Structure 1
Amino acid sequence: MEHKKVRKLTYLAIMIALDVVLSPIFRIEGMAPMSSVINVLAGALMGPLYATGMAFICGIIRMILLGVPPLALTGAVFGAFLAGLFYRMTSSIYGSIAGEVIGTGIIGSLLSYPVMILFTGTSNQLYWLLYTPRFLGAAVLGSVAAGLIWKKAQHLSIFRQMKTLFD
């Protein structure tokens, strides 16, 4: 039993490390498509609880180490949760992709507006125009990449192990 918990935490740590390291490397200004890649994969492999925890921890780490604003949380957490939830409901990577696009691209972007008003102290009406296209674009790009990775990685034993471990 303890062995199973240790393996889950190890896989969680690996996903966190991948997200934290890859997101700033493959970043487009104002967009983090690698975060969406990891959200989709984590949601499908680990489920909504672990994926949400992963996204939250990654957001906190990026905020502390990289000086990223609170958008790191509003963008990723909802996408990771819905990616895991939709995967569990559909048993399909397309469900995870849809969850990420809805959660990050739409919900996350809309919730970023009030968060940035609190963070900056200004109520710039252009925040709506800035966040939704960027979040949606990053979520779509990252989700498509995750779908391609998923299709190619199905034969890898680590993918099969993670899927069975978190079921």
Structure 2
Amino acid sequence: MKRPPGISENKMTQARQVVLTGLFAALAVLLSGIHFPIGPSKVFPFQHMVNAVAGVLIGPWYGALAALIAGVIRNAIGTGTIFAFPGGIPGAIVVGLAYRWAKRDWASLTEPLGTGVIGVGLVVLLLGPLMGKEYAFLLFFTAFMASSIPGAVIGYFLLKTLRKTKILEHRQIPGA
């Protein structure tokens, strides 16, 4: 894509990241119709797939922003729960940071660390006093991992497929 006169490459990269953030958020909302109830939460493996791919392709902060936007919209339209925030945002951040460090697609498989460790930790801090910390941890860890592990694996294979088809080769996507 040829950049317009007077627009720096840095501005084009930022614009692409903002556009991709919106696209990832929209994809997560679109796929939110596919979910499975487990305990008090809904299991959304495709949200975690989006987090895993976004963390690799647009980085930790834009990936987290996409998860935040998707969580807000999903809650507003009734397809999400409050657990979308502690479940999605840390997952995208961990993937993005792991990818910055390793520069390998397997970083997408770290999404359950953000969701299952950091996200569950946040939920237990908030709900543990009401539910009992051990019960809250077990309940949410099981639900979050049931969603994030399949989502991260799907995201990993999606990244591999995108690379094999050379869709990401043209460097139109900042982190590709």
Same fold (TM over 0.5): yes
Distance 1:127 1:87 in 2: 30
Distance 1:62 1:32 in 2: 11
The one-letter code of the counterpart of 1:51 is G
Distance 1:156 1:163 in 2: 14
- The correspondence for 1:109, drawn from 76, 98, 120, is 120
Instruction: Please state how far the C-alpha of 1:136 moved relative to its aligned partner.
Output: 1.3
Q: How high is the sequence identity, in percent, across the aligned residues?
A: 25
Instruction: Please state how far the C-alpha of 1:21 moved relative to its aligned partner.
Output: 0.9
Distance 1:163 1:48 in 2: 18
Distance 2:61 2:166 in 1: 23
CA 1:113–1:144: 2 relative to 1, 3 Å = same
Equivalent residues in 2 for 1:90-109, closer than 5 Å? 90-98=102-110, 100-109=111-120
Moved over 4 A (4+): 161-164
Structure 2: gaps (5+ residues): 1-7
Instruction: Please state how far the C-alpha of 1:108 moved relative to its aligned partner.
Output: 0.6
Note the aligned Cα RMSD (angstroms): 2.2
2:29 matches 1:17: no
Equivalent residues in 2 for 1:56-95, closer than 5 Å? 56-66=68-78, 68-95=80-107
The one-letter code of the counterpart of 1:84 is G
CA 1:163–1:27: 2 relative to 1, 3 Å = farther
TM-score computed with the length of structure 1 as normaliser: 0.85
2:56 matches 1:44: yes
SS at match of 1:159: coil
Equivalent pairs, count: 161
CA contact (8 A) 1:105 1:138 kept: no
Distance 1:160 1:65 in 2: 36
CA 1:115–1:161: 2 relative to 1, 3 Å = farther
1:123-153 CA distance string (max 9 Å, x none): 1233322210110121111111111111111
CA 1:67–1:150: 2 relative to 1, 3 Å = closer
Distance 1:134 1:162 in 2: 36
The one-letter code of the counterpart of 2:25 is I
TM-score computed with the length of structure 2 as normaliser: 0.81
Instruction: Please state how far the C-alpha of 1:158 moved relative to its aligned partner.
Output: 4.3
Distance 1:11 1:160 in 2: 16
Report the counterpart of residue 34 of structure 2 in structure 1. 26
The one-letter code of the counterpart of 1:61 is I
Distance 1:14 1:162 in 2: 17
The structure with more radius of gyration: 2
